[in-house]
Structure 1
């Protein structure tokens, strides 16, 4: 199982690198032809999505997908893979939690910058155990095999939950797994618990899993938009990025303004869950923290620094990382105007 995960990750990265080679000419063409922010017709943004293409779906639902530029949505199992794609030149814009950019920047000179923050709910970020498990809390994981999605929110909140329970990372047999592989390992008895997020947690509960720990109050709710450096050098691409992020904020506002049921139906169909559960999850998420974008601020940089320091403490980062080195306010003015 775990060898298969490594092979899957390697294959995914190979495909990303291959895609980057084919996409580089397109990116250069787009950049050179988009000489001003008013000329968006020649811009194509390659944008990442995790779990399912919820951003694309909500823009369509709210009637805000009529962009004057083209958007190619690319689906990934995690924000960490989106940042790998950014590094490989296969994406222009990635959406992730605070964690993936930390590891992408620590892996060498970053070719991206965090340009905006999307505030969103931290629900469905959990450590779950399979049906019939005798484990009832995090302390019960001592000595057990625990799967987690590496370099993501799951990695971070699992570490923090262990500390809260008086355990060290070395007190568990930690197994890095992709969401789908983690679910298979959980149901097949390969691991005793799984730390994950989003649709994988929803599916785990549908299969009888129970929650033994939650990252809801550990995570900041800051989800980051990271753009390739080449995007920031093009006025037209910058304008398109600001416009797209603002449209997503307006789309969520539209849903909250009495249009929850329709988007809950779309979500239920896409995630294969009961409509009532999808509606409840949507309402709970928007009640906890309405999804909306904001420009870069000192507080958002400080929040990610806290996360990076925790990974240094854990030993996942070899040395302290100054996160503000890969943040920029270059999009702030255009984003404020677009919002």
Structure 2
């Protein structure tokens, strides 16, 4: 099962339903098929690390894919890597017991928190870039302030940071959801709509921003001051509860943390490696690196990070995007924190 993702938040498949967070055609049966033989619930509980297969989510061209380039040796267990197109799908796969580990923004856990038997547990926080999440307007647009978008067509991606940015900017401008014409689109469809003139503004993220800018789009606003910059690493509760799988998770996150040291040390090297993996122009990645709001630092959970996600959840609840207020604290699990210090 594969997905095409230019960045951690670049491409999310269309067809996502807010109420049920459907997998856009991926069923629980499909997700179970992602599990390698012998790695299902209970199969490895009496085994050793050498017998275990850790099931991890990846995004094409993102840090999870560059352990070898970063000089990180192969772990003492097997890795089954599955590509996903968005954090929402990863959260659902964890809940379907098809994954042990995956990364996402602050948004997806909020939408699965109330699901019976929710397996998603937040085990660490990646402090990263927010300047690559922006509101774009087309070349030649007269719009100079977000308030100017009243009555205009604004594209966004449902249940992502894009959605959250739009809600916050509406609040900031004293506007309501009904004061604009919101258009929910996948990033791919959003790019086509934006370039055709069907949108007056587009709230979007990742390297796709630089593709649009090269064609003349202008950044009206970045997410600096809106987003926390917290991106989450998550694990399945059942994986954390299993002693052998827990040991593998701790080893994996400690290796994963080291990838970011390699990334932060050389932006041009990172851009070239990503370009080779994705086919996207290296200059887009290099520009993203040069303009980033902060280096990427993976660390343990904190009270500040929990409070940040609660504020995000409360924003979605106030806008009635989710049916009721969610207490996010039960989602957070500090059992891997010692591996991330």
Query: TM-score of the superposition, structure 1-length normalised?
Result: 0.86
* Higher mean C-alpha displacement, 210-219 vs 266-275: 266-275
1:124 offset after TM fit, Å? Answer: 0.7
Correspondence 1:152 to 2:172: no
Q: Is 1:171 matched up with 2:176?
A: no
Is the 2:61–2:278 contact (alpha carbons within 8 Å) kept by the matching residues of 1? Answer: no
Q: 1:260 aligns with which of 250, 256, 267?
A: 267
Structure 2: 5+ residue stretches without partners: 1-12
From 281, 290, 298, the equivalent of 2:288 is 281
Asked whether 1:43 is paired with 2:48, we answer no
Name the residue aligned to 1:94.
102
Residue 321 of structure 1 aligns with which residue?
326
Choose which of 291, 302, 311 in structure 1 pairs with 2:307: 302
Give the number of the structure whose residues are more often helix, by fraction.
Answer: 1
SS at match of 1:279: helix
Answer whether contact 1:53 1:73 (CA < 8 A) is retained. no
User: Which of 135, 151, 175 is 1:127 aligned to?
Assistant: 135
Q: What is the root-mean-square deviation of aligned Cα atoms in Å?
A: 2.7
Q: How far apart, CA to CA, are the structure 2 residues paired with 1:271 and 1:130?
A: 26
Give the distance between the partners of 1:145 and 1:189, measured in 2 at CA.
10
1:202 maps to: 210
Of 34, 38, 44 in structure 2, the residue corresponding to residue 33 of structure 1 is 44
Larger deviation: 109-118 or 147-156?
109-118
> Does structure 1 residue 22 correspond to structure 2 residue 33?
yes
Instruction: Describe the shift of the 1:45–1:182 C-alpha distance in structure 2 as closer, same or farther (beyond 3 A).
Output: farther
Tell me the distance in 2 between the aligned counterparts of 1:214 and 1:134: 18
After the TM superposition, which parts of structure 1 deviate over 6 Å for at least 4 consecutive aligned residues?
A: 7-11
Deviation at 1:261, TM superposition (A): 2.7
Distance in 1 between the 2:288 and 2:154 partners?
26
Count of residues paired in the alignment: 327
Q: Does 1:161 align with 2:169?
A: yes
Task: State how 1:219-238 maps to structure 2 within 5 Å.
Answer: 219-238=227-246
Contact conserved, 2:103 with 2:232, CA < 8 A, in 1?
yes
Instruction: Decide which moves more: 172-181 or 69-78.
Output: 69-78
Alignment of 1:232-251 (within 5 A): 232-251=240-259
Q: What secondary structure does 1:195 align onto?
A: strand
Shift of 1:64: 1.1
Cα distance 1:61–1:24, how it changes in 2: closer, same or farther (>3 A)? Answer: closer
| CA distance in 2: counterparts of 1:162 and 1:19, whole angstroms | 38
Deviates more, 1:245-254 or 1:263-272: 263-272
What is the CA-CA distance between 1:277 and the residue it aligns to?
4.4
State the 1:113 CA deviation: 1.1
Aligned counterpart, 1:218: 226
CA contact (8 A) 2:136 2:221 kept: yes
Query: Where does residue 117 of structure 1 map in the other structure?
Result: 125
The alpha carbon displacement at 1:194 in A equals 1.6
Distance in structure 2 (CA, Å) of the matches to 1:12 and 1:166: 34
Per-residue CA distance 1:293-320 (angstroms, 9 max, x = gap): 2222222111111111111111112111
With normalisation by structure 2, the TM-score equals 0.85
| 1:82 has 2:90 as partner | yes
Q: 1:157 to 1:191 in 2, by over 3 A?
A: same
CA offset at residue 276 of structure 1? 4.2
Instruction: Give the match for residue 15 of structure 2.
Output: 6
